[in-house]
Amino acid sequence: MLNGKIAVVTGGTRGIGYAIVRKFLLNGAKVVLFGSRSETVEKALASLAQENPAWEVSGDCPNLSDAAAVADAIEKVREKYGRIDILVNNAGISDSTSIDDYTSEQFEKVMSLNVNAIMNAVIPSVKIMKEQGSGNIINTSSMVSICGQRSGVAYPTSKYAVNGMTWSLARELAPFGIRVNAVAPGITKTDMVANLPEAMIQPLINSIPLRRIGEPDEVADAFVFLASDMASYVTGEILSVDGAMRT
């Protein structure tokens, strides 16, 4: 579904991000994954190479909060491949801090990585995509951007901002052949969730109408669809992948 496409995936070393990278590779894309540290990037690349040495995948670890560093990393991808077809903004941090314990610094930290860092990747990528006359940007939102959560107000606030960014960029960039969408995952079996005790897991499952927790591959499939030509007339969409939990 993605043969010959050049993709950049931030937060691509583990969890949903790693699943996105792997699914893109399975569908014929060439991928550059961004991670927070060189060690995690190397670990992810080694795992992917072990599964299929023929996959064309490389990695980098720019500071996503540093606009110049991100622009430089994006330019290196363009220099290597001549184009960037897909940008996936998946990097981010969750938060469950009670309002009584919040500081302005904590709120700013979440907003910086979950919102500002996306724009740091979008701005240089859009310049490239406009030049080539096409492109595809997919942001990772969250179920809580739609229904909120009981603590950690910065996280749903940041993800609602991601939705607004997605809708607005979709309208602005459509005339240039650039589609912009987002995926809003629900509770997904990442390392953090998998390590929760059964006493916490079962109530979570009971709250999901499909009565199970989602798999990273199931979320990644939504990214593959939105990145592919099957979604050629889909833009400005926030695609929920949450087992109907948001309802």
- Phi and psi angles of residue 57, each rounded to the nearest 5 degrees, phi first: -145, 140
Give the mean pLDDT of 65-76: 98
Q: Kindly list the domain boundaries of the chain, sorted by start residue.
A: 6-188+216-241
Report CA Rg, the chain. 17
Question: Three-state SS for 201?
Answer: helix
**pLDDT of residue 247 exceeding 60:** no
Supply the mean pLDDT for the chain: 95
Identify the pLDDT of residue 237.
Answer: 98
**Percent helix, strand and coil across the chain, each to the nearest 5:** 50, 15, 35
* 6-188+216-241: CATH number: 3.40.50.720
The per-residue b/e assignment along 160-188, b for 16 or more CB within 10 angstroms, e otherwise, is: bbbbebbbebbeebeeeebbbbbbbbbbb
Strand, helix or coil at 127? helix
Instruction: Respond yes or no: is residue 155 known to be catalytic.
Output: yes
pLDDT tens by residue, 220-243: 999 999 999 999 999 999 999 999
- Beta bridge pairs of residue 102: none
Q: Count other C-beta atoms under 10 Å from residue 67's C-beta.
A: 17
Lowest mean pLDDT among 21-30, 55-64, 182-191: 182-191
pLDDT at 150: 87
pLDDT of residue 196: 64
Q: Give helix 15-26 / helix 38-51 axis angle, nearest 10°.
A: 40
Is 58 within 8 Å of 45 (Cβ atoms)? yes
What does the pLDDT look like over 104-161, one tens digit per residue?
999 999 999 999 999 999 999 999 999 999 999 999 999 999 888 888 999 999 999 9
DSSP for residue 213: P
Please report which confidence band the pLDDT of residue 85 belongs to, taking 50, 70 and 90 as the band edges: very high
Across the range 22-49, mean pLDDT stands at 98
- Reported as a single tens digit per residue, the pLDDT across 155-188 is 999 999 999 999 999 999 999 999 999 999 999 9
User: Exposure string (b/e) for 4-27, b if CB count within 10 Å is 16 or more?
Assistant: ebbbbbbbbbbbbbbbbbbbbbbb
Q: What is the model's pLDDT at position 138?
A: 99
Active-site choice (81, 102, 155, 233): 155
Question: Is residue 109 classed exposed, middle or buried when 0-12, 13-18 and 19+ CB atoms within 10 A define those classes?
Answer: middle
**End-to-end Cα, the chain, rounded Å:** 31
Nearest to 215 by CA among 245, 185, 237, 238: 185
Residue whose C-alpha is closest to residue 206's, from 219, 187, 189: 187
Residue 191 has pLDDT above 80, yes or no: no
Residue 218 has pLDDT above 80, yes or no: yes
**From CA 64, how far away is CA 212, in angstroms rounded?**
33
Query: What share of the chain has pLDDT > 70, as a percent?
Result: 98
Q: How confident is the model at residue 22 (pLDDT cuts 50, 70, 90)?
A: very high
Average pLDDT over every residue of 100-105: 96
Q: Is the pTM of this model over 0.75?
A: yes
